[in-house]
Amino acid sequence: MKRTMSLKNCVHLIVIGLALSLRAGAAVAEVVAVVSARNPVTATLSNNQVVDIFLGKASRFPDGSQAVPIDQSEGSAVRDEFYLKFTGKSPAQIKAHWSKIIFTGRGRPPREVTNSIEVKKLLAKDPNAIGYIEQSLVDSSVKVLLAQ
Amino acid sequence: MISDSPANRTALNATRGSSAVTLKNWFSHAAESHILFPAIAVLVLAVIWGTTLNLIKVERASAEHSASVSSRELAETYEAQVIRALREIDQTLKLVRYAYESARKHATLSDLKAKTLLPPDLVFVVSIADNKGDIVASTRPPEKKNVADQEYFESQRSVDALSVSRPWKNKVSSEWQLQFSRRLNAPDGSFAGIVMIAVDAGYFVSGYEVDKLGEHGALGVLGTDGVFRARRSGDSITAGDTVDYAAVVPATDEPNDIRPTINAWDGVLRYTSARQLYDFPLAIVVGLSEDEQLAAARQNKRTYLWRASAASLLLILVVSVLGRLSRQLVLSRQREVEEQVAHAARVEYLAYHDGLTTLPNRSLFSKLLSQSINEAHRYKRRLAVMFLDLDHFKHVNDTLGHESGDQLLKEVATRLKDCLRESDTVARLGGDEFVVLLPELDEEKYVSTVAHKILSSVAKPFILMGDEFRVTASIGISTYPQDGLDEQTLTKNADNAMYLAKEEGKNNFQFFSEKLHANSLERLTLESGLRHALEHHEFELHYQPMRDMRSGMITGMEAVLRWHHPDIGMVVPTRFIAVAEEMGLMVPIGKWVIRTACLQNVAWQHRGLPRLKMAVNLTLRQFFDENLLADLTKILADTGMDATLLELEITESLLMRDVEKTMRVLNGLKDRGIRIAIDDFGIGYSSLATLKQFPLDTIKIDRSLIRDVASVDEDKDMTKAIVAMGRTLSLTVVAQGVETKEQAEYLRENACDEFQGFYLNRPVPAEQVAELLQTQSAISDTDANPAD
């Protein structure tokens, strides 16, 4: 049951992603939000929930467990794609956002790693971590958050 | 509505008393709606506008105050945030320096980063430069490979202090950036390079919130050198512009109440707070745009003004409508009152004036007279009262109708007024009776002058229904004080004098005199006596024979009325007939006369006496009495009298009054077989032609002609002519008042038919008639000559 549903949603996401990438006109790989395969989170997270975690507005998953967002290097294509796709914001806007958070002392930006492989490594180590990688790099070590 | 009702005024008067007269006046004035409504309107307008303007003022003050307060509060918050951010940066610089100086290696940065001891490199780029200015380590790829030529690098060589660079624009991101740096020391204390942290200038103004600062607020970090390290207004971030630091940042604590000032850097009016930061060569600046902060208040001001205007308009509208309504109400009340007053005046006028002629009526005249008497008494003056009665007015009324009669009266009223002075009064007492009051007699002649004037004025012809008519007037005059001292006496005496004028042949005036007073007393006696004479059987008929001129035989009797007054004895008809006629008693008396005469005639016949003609006089009233014919029919039937023996005598003047009506009556009499005689013929002006048209039987020559018939030629001729005319018309001609043998002789010669008079024919009581007849028959048996 669950698998069928997730498959369906997967297809859905792909379609949307394709459309987005076609519009962006860039040969950017499809980006998906992922958590560790060991993460007990089974429920799908909404776009907003994912965004809140990455923008420091939420620090926990819906089930109450700690959420540790993992960012990728500033300026990397997958990072820009992720934020554009999930928040609709440009890198400058993301930077302005964090500037304000830091300046007012309300938080720090997520920890950065250099690429998706590193993300997966971290996810494998930390079941509470949440990151984003290219669709193509999804494997059994991660669970794709079927964000809507 | 709220107008000055008398009750209100009384209440006010009662409570305030006389001392507050002006106040009372003011109140009653104010209570008038045309003042009260506008006054209330002005008051309400004043309240509306006062409240509105005050509200606007208060709101503005409150908006200003809150802008001032929030500018200061924001400045405080911002100050704390900036200091904390700066300390964090300085802390990091010190940490890096410490780690560097301890470890003496360039890898310090990555170690620190790995331990997350460095601030997020998303915002902060930490770099280390060696003593030659070459960047040897950096958390990000450095913008410059060497910073030896930079001012901050140079300054760190000599001073060990936090350096805040001037802002510059990053060539890649085109963002304004700032560089914070500290000196690194070699173990020997010499200059080993610097540790730097590059930050986007925007970082220091990222706390800008549109909610609080608005689109045109200002948030900035200003160096003590007057150069803005970062400045933000809305979404626009800039840096590097220079201002006069002293002008922006006050040396002392800023005042509690911040007034808006124009910011030198962008010319915007703002509630500006600036604070020098403790321990740093920087100040923060917070500005709230006056325009935005007061926008709500301004909006409210507009709303309030609009509402106040609308309310004012509405109020003015309502008040003007109410005012109009109340004005109309007041006007209509006024009209109503005026109408009532006019009506009352009219009623009073009607009560005191004659409707037809608009002259004063009896009541007003009586008032005026008594008033004038009082004045005359006080000032020892004389006054005159004139009673005036139109002669033959009834005739006009009867022949031309009441409308013409009314018209005549109006005309007479006008003429009377024209004859009088302004101070004189003419009033109509009713019918054709007028009365004139002359309240001031300056000279003796005036009364008679006026009387003459009136008589000639009334005597002028009137045009009624297209025909000329003439009437005359009879005037009686009494004067104060000799003819009476009070109203009643004066009017009564004037009235009596007027009757005298009537008796004197009308169209004249008479002054009251004591003789007249006596006459009037007698008249009063007669009047009161006459009322009951009939029922008290005080009347008696005497009979005067008429004899045939030739044979001397008695042909008939004329019934002559006698009145036995219980006090004054026998009264002859000439003394009371006119009075009875005026009193309207002549019709019943006349009926009694005819009936009695008829009964007597029939009685004589029953006693075997010869059938005699019975002549009875008819007065004017009797003749024109509507029931005359019916009464006669009944009397004839009741008494069994032969109608052909009854002869009714009427005067010549009566014939001319109303020819048509007279003719009708005469024909009615003829239809019943009654004979008709013209009495006192010869003094009127009847023509032969006139006489011809009436169905007459007898004419009786007036005694005035007969008196001198034997001596005066003119009377002879007249008598002759009358006899001749009578012959022509086949009338019986009777001579009246024959008293001498000479007269009788002359008449016999001239073929007069019959005669009457004291010569042989004194009126006698009924019982003597039988004797007379018997004597006569004895005479006739012996001697046919009656002349003896």
Tens digits of per-residue pLDDT, B96-111?
999 888 876 767 888 8
Q: Which tokens hold the place of B107?
A: 């890898």
Q: Which tokens hold the place of A80?
A: 């820009």
Say if the ipTM goes beyond 0.85.
no
What is the per-residue burial (b if ≥16 Cβ within 10 Å, else e) of B173-205? eebbbbbbbbbbeeeeeebbbbbbbbbbbbbbb
Full-model pTM: 0.51
Q: Is B200 on the interface with A (CB under 8 A)?
A: yes
How close does chain B come to A138, measured CA to CA in Å? 27
- B593-772: which CATH number, 3.30.1310.10, 3.40.630.30, 3.20.20.450, 3.40.1550.10? 3.20.20.450
A108 vs B85, B120, B204: nearest CB: B120
What's the CA gap between B786 and B4, in Å, rounded? 103
User: How many beta carbons lie within 10 A of that of residue B245, not counting itself?
Assistant: 16
User: Is residue A18 pLDDT above 60, yes or no?
Assistant: no
Tell me which chain A residues have a C-beta less than 8 angstroms from the C-beta of B206: 96, 99-100, 103-104
Q: Is A112 on the interface with B (CB under 8 A)?
A: yes
Which residues of chain B fall short of a pLDDT of 50? Answer: 1-17, 781-788
**Is the distance from CB of B554 to CB of B612 less than 8 angstroms?**
yes
Q: Which tokens hold the place of B592?
A: 């009694």
Question: What homologous superfamily is domain B362-512 in, according to CATH?
Answer: Reverse transcriptase/Diguanylate cyclase domain (3.30.70.270)
What's the CA gap between B705 and B686, in Å, rounded? 16
User: Is residue A42 pLDDT above 70, yes or no?
Assistant: no
Q: Which tokens hold the place of B396?
A: 């006009």
Query: What domain range is A137 assigned to?
Result: 2-144
Q: Is B223 on the interface with A (CB under 8 A)?
A: no
Here the CATH number for the domain that contains residue A54 is 3.40.190.10
Tell me which chain A residues have a C-beta less than 8 angstroms from the C-beta of B123: 95, 98-99, 102, 109
Contact across the interface for B200 and A95, Cβ inside 8 Å: yes
Give the pLDDT confidence score for residue B684 in this predicted structure: 65
* Opening angle at CA B110, ends B109 and B112, nearest 5: 65
Cα-Cα-Cα-Cα torsion B623, B627, B629, B630, nearest 10 degrees, comes to -160
B207 vs A92, A104, A112: nearest CB: A104
Tell me which chain B residues have a C-beta less than 8 angstroms from the C-beta of A98: 120, 122-123
**Is the distance from CB of B608 to CB of B577 less than 8 angstroms?**
no
Tell me which chain A residues have a C-beta less than 8 angstroms from the C-beta of B177: none
How close does chain A come to B303, measured CA to CA in Å? 38
Q: Is B207 on the interface with A (CB under 8 A)?
A: yes
Closest alpha carbon to B472 in B452, B491, B492: B452
Q: Please give the residue of chain A at the shortest CA–CA distance from B89.
A: A103
Q: Which tokens hold the place of B780?
A: 């006739």
Half-sphere exposure of B516 (CA within 13 A, CB side): 21
CB pairs under 8 A between A and B: 41
What's the CA gap between B179 and B170, in Å, rounded? 11
- Match 């509105």 to its residue by tokens: B52
Give the pLDDT confidence score for residue A27 in this predicted structure: 46
**Is the distance from CB of B497 to CB of B484 less than 8 angstroms?**
no
Q: Which helix (H) or strand (E) holds B13?
A: helix B6-16
Contact across the interface for B207 and A100, Cβ inside 8 Å: yes
Give the pLDDT confidence score for residue A146 in this predicted structure: 67
Closest alpha carbon to B587 in B601, B556, B640, B595: B595
- In single-letter form, the type of residue at position B177 comes to Q
Contact across the interface for A103 and B85, Cβ inside 8 Å: yes
Give the pLDDT confidence score for residue B28 in this predicted structure: 65
Give the pLDDT confidence score for residue B226 in this predicted structure: 92
Summarize pLDDT for A51-66 with one digit per residue, the tens.
Answer: 889 998 888 888 888 8
Query: For residue B373, what are the contacts with CB-CB under 8 A and spacing of at least 6?
Result: B383, B480, B485, B486, B487, B490
Q: Is B155 on the interface with A (CB under 8 A)?
A: no
Write out the residue limits of the CATH 3.30.70.270 domain(s) in chain B. Answer: 362-512
What's the CA gap between B245 and B237, in Å, rounded? 20
B120 vs A92, A104, A109: nearest CB: A109
The Cα-based distances of B562 to B254, B526, B569, B737, B767 in angstroms read 143, 13, 10, 18, 15
Write out the residue limits of the CATH 3.20.20.450 domain(s) in chain B. Answer: 593-772
Decide: helix, strand or coil at residue B567. coil
Query: How high does pLDDT run on average in chain A?
Result: 78
What's the CA gap between B401 and B21, in Å, rounded? 66
Tell me which chain B residues have a C-beta less than 8 angstroms from the C-beta of A112: 121-122
Give the pLDDT confidence score for residue B517 in this predicted structure: 67
Q: Which tokens hold the place of B301?
A: 């001001």
Q: Is B80 on the interface with A (CB under 8 A)?
A: no
Q: Is A60 on the interface with B (CB under 8 A)?
A: no
What's the CA gap between B778 and B697, in Å, rounded? 30
A98 vs B81, B85, B122: nearest CB: B122
Q: Number of folded domains in chain A?
A: 1
**Angle formed by the axes of helices B362-378 and B295-352, to 10°?**
80
Decide: helix, strand or coil at residue B443. coil
Tell me which chain A residues have a C-beta less than 8 angstroms from the C-beta of B79: none
What's the CA gap between B230 and B285, in Å, rounded? 10
What are φ and ψ of residue B189, in 5° steps? Answer: 90, -5
Give the pLDDT confidence score for residue B769 in this predicted structure: 83
Q: Is A96 on the interface with B (CB under 8 A)?
A: yes
Indicate which of A95, A97, A114 best probes the interface with B, i.e. most B CBs within 10 Å of its own CB: A95
Closest alpha carbon to B542 in B606, B607, B605, B616: B616
What are φ and ψ of residue A132, in 5° steps? Answer: -140, 140
**Is the distance from CB of B12 to CB of B304 less than 8 angstroms?**
no
